[in-house]
Structures are given as C-alpha cells and as structure tokens.
Amino acid sequence: MIPLLFGQPSRQLFGLYHTPEKSSDLAVLICPPFGQEAIRTHRFFRVLSDRLARGGAAVLRFDLYGSGDSAGIDLDGDIEGWWRDVCTAHDELRRHTAGRRVVWLGSRMGATLAAIADRSGRCDPDRLVLWDPIFDGARYMESLRLAHVEALERSYFMPDRAWRRRLENEAEAYTDEVLGVAISPELRQQFRSLVPEAIKAPTHRTVMLADPADHTANKWAQSAVANHAPLRVASFRHSLDWTTDPNAENPVVPGEAIQRLLAEINE
C-alpha cells in the first residue's frame, strides 16, 4: 500500500494505492462517503481493497478535499469540487495503471458524486458500481440530524429532552455540525437540492445496489432505464450501519457486503 498526494497544488488529495498482487486488467477507484460515514467505513474499504489487490486489481482509495488526510478543512467541502476530485483521482489511478479497465465503486454520497462525475465528460470510467446512492438530499440531511442527536444521547447516557425538542421544532438545528463534521451553509443547501431529477442517467455501464425500500433511488433507476441508460438495478440489503458506533449487532466489516461487492466489481 503506497500513500500518495496528487492533484493541483491548491487542492492536494491524499490517497492510498493498493498494488496488485498478481496479473489482471482491472483497476478500482473507491469513491468514499461523506463525513462520519467515511470514518465508519474506513476499515471496511481497507479490507475490500486488500481483497481486490490480492485478486490482481489495482485499487486507489482517497479522501475528498476538506476531509481525512487531504488538504482543506470541513467547511471547504462542496459537491462540484468533490465530483471533480473523483475525476482527479481517476486520472491518478490511470497514471499508475495504464491499459487497465477502471471501475468506480461509490458508496452513499460517493456514489452520488460518481454518478455526477460520470456525466461530466471530464473523465471516462469503464463501469460504475453505485452502492446505496443518495438521491434525496433533504432526507439525507434529516437522517444526519437524527443520527447526531442519537449519538449525543448515547454519549451522555442521560439524554436531555431539549435535544429532541430542538430536532423536532428547529429545521436548522444540528445542521452546522453533524457527527463531528462541520457543514457550511452552502453545502447544506447543496445537499438539500439533491433530487433524482438533478442526477442524470449514467452513460457508462452501471449497477446500482440499493435496498428495495429506497424508493427514491429506485425511482431514479427506473427513469434511467426507461431512457435506455446502461443501468442494472440489484437489490442489496446488508448489516452495515453507515453512521452508528460498532457493536456486537453492528459489524464493521460484514462478510456478506464484502462478498457481494467483490462479485459486482469483478463481474
């Protein structure tokens, strides 16, 4: 595993390159989720990347600008800059793996960014795997607010009822900082503007892995398929909780998720 810094000097990104351990024509770019979800899944994607490299794939994981070990601070995050980061990371992976097929694996907000980057015309992946993409930004913000309050209640052991009252009565409560990550007013607005109609259908072969109960993601997929997009929808329920602390019933690296993603990536 090789640490990398890449991108423009004014927007340096940090990545980890997993060297393939045997011959293959596959390269995989991991597009990470946002905020606490990225922290929560760090171990998961480390294990997945190791498995892929062992099978011969070259893998690049990276941090979005303003997150992890990339340059910038939380408040620098914005959706346009991030989907451009996906393309920058794609170019970096191409630089290390000329001639290989490049598959993007995006999860949660990373899947949304991958879908936007795919339609940008700025980069050219061979295939996309979108895992639990976010196409309803308003609902996503509400889920983060709720998760934030639940985390407070777990941390303090004696929940303050005022937290729940603020959550119910103040739409902007717990939106400037959620689960330890600051969110700028601009990014909050960008999240809330995410709707299925704003995300164009993919141009490259794509599989979307989503819970059948995620009606928004499935609505987006149905519209894309109706417009003859090269998209396949696959039902996927798993035990990975994107935001909560791990416990005995909430595994960090659920085996069924690893196996399913390996199968979809190596399709």
Residues 6+ apart with CB under 8 A from 162: none
**0.85 exceeded by pTM:** yes
Give the pLDDT confidence score for residue 248 in this predicted structure.
Answer: 53
Could you tell me the strand order of the sheet in which 101-107 lies?
A: 2-6, 13-18, 58-62, 26-31, 101-107, 127-131, 205-210, 231-235
Give the model confidence (pLDDT) of 44-88 as tens digits.
999 999 999 999 999 999 999 999 999 999 999 999 999 999 999
The band of 239, judged by pLDDT with boundaries at 50, 70 and 90, is: confident
Give the model confidence (pLDDT) of 158-215 as tens digits.
788 999 999 999 989 999 998 999 999 999 999 999 999 999 999 999 999 999 999 9
